[in-house]
Structure formats: C-alpha cells, structure tokens
Amino acid sequence: MAEKAVEQLLSLNPERLQLASENIAVRKWNLDILDDLVQTAVNRFPSHPTREELENYHLVNRRLRQFSRQFIQRGEEESEKLAEHIKELAEKIYLEDDPRINKLFSSYITKKILKFGGVVDTEAANQYRLKLINYVESKLIVAIPHLKRKEDREKVCKLLENLVAAQTALERYDVDGALDDALRYALKQFLFNGVMSHHIYQSLL
C-alpha cells in the first residue's frame, strides 16, 4: 500500500502541475487526496527501507514541500494539516537515513569514484588529489560512523577500494602524504564501524 502511495506521489511533478487550483472546490479536493496519500506513506513507512526506497522517499518529500507551498500561496487554511503530515514523513526519513549518509551517496564525486577505472588524467592529477582529500575528510569520514545498513556498508566498502586505487595512481603527486593519511583514517573508521555494528558485538552490550 505504501509503495502504491509513493508511486502516485512520484508521478506528481510540482514543476508542471498546480494542485492548488483557483477553484476552491477543486483545490480542497486535491488537498484531501494529497493528504490521504501522505498519511498512507507515513503510516506504512517500511521498517527497513532499502537505499532505493529512501531515495524515492527523499524525492517525494521534496515534491511534497513544493506542493505545500502552492497551497500556502493560495491562502488555503486547511493546508496546515498537510504540512504536519509532510513533517511526519520527513522525520521518519531522517530517522532511517542520516543526512550525512545521504549527502555522501548523493555526491557527484561518490558516483565518479564508484566508476573509477584506474586511470588518472596527469594534467589534472594534483587538483584531483586535493578534491579527494576534501571529499574524504568532509563527506566520507563524517558519514562512516552513521552507517547502519548492510547495503550501505557494502557500497562504502567498494568506495574505499576505488579510493585506494585512486590514491595508488596519485601516489607520486601525494608528496605530503595528506591523501594517504586521510584514507588510512577512513579505513580505520570503517573497520571500527563494522565491529561495532556486528551482531556478536551488539549481543555483548
């Protein structure tokens, strides 16, 4: 049921669709239908959502905020109830998907690293190295302690493997060892997180 509600909400694009009609009756009808869909999404929110499901929920939440603004701009008083339910949905997403994890996985650098083929453009090598240092320190290291899902840890494991490959390709440019140091710290954090989240360790707490 939740999947159906999410699918319906995803099919609504606030960039092309004005639900807050000038016609009061139509506006209230659209508001009620939208609110029902949001409540269904809240009440049937999965207990262990996958990364793909969370990405869909993030998109739904962004679109709902835009629709909510449409009703507010029309001066629709009953839109407060919709805003409250959107807030409830956002809180559920936040509890399941730490913003630091979401920021890491939505980064274009993450996508580039996951596709890394082992070859570095020598002309841009130093600039690439500096970007990687900043990425590891500001996104990866910050996110690792908050990994909870197995699929997320597997993705970060692949990310670290490719980062090590990139660091190896950039080794002669890493004169001060800053990239090497940042990666070593990230790897230690990842291993520590794996131990802390392991079911055997958890059973000892």
Give the tens place of pLDDT for each residue, 79-107.
899 999 999 999 999 888 888 998 999 89
- Asked if pLDDT for residue 40 goes beyond 70, the answer is yes
Q: Which sign, positive or negative, has the C-alpha torsion 121, 122, 123, 129?
A: positive
Query: Would you say the pTM of this structure is higher than 0.85?
Result: no
Angle subtended at Cα 110 by Cα 49 and Cα 176, rounded to the nearest 5 degrees: 135
Please indicate whether residue 161 or residue 48 has the higher confidence score (pLDDT): 161
Q: Which of 27-31, 37-41, 98-102 has the weakest average pLDDT?
A: 98-102
How many other C-beta atoms are found inside a 10 Å radius of the C-beta of residue 205? 5
The Cα 188–Cα 140 span in angstroms is 12
Percent residues over pLDDT 90 in the chain: 55
- Asked if pLDDT for residue 202 goes beyond 60, the answer is no
Query: For residue 29, what pLDDT is reported?
Result: 94
The Cα 33–Cα 12 span in angstroms is 12
Query: For residue 135, what pLDDT is reported?
Result: 96
Report the number of secondary-structure helices (H) and strands (E) in the chain.
11, 0
Q: How confident is the model at residue 51 (pLDDT cuts 50, 70, 90)?
A: confident
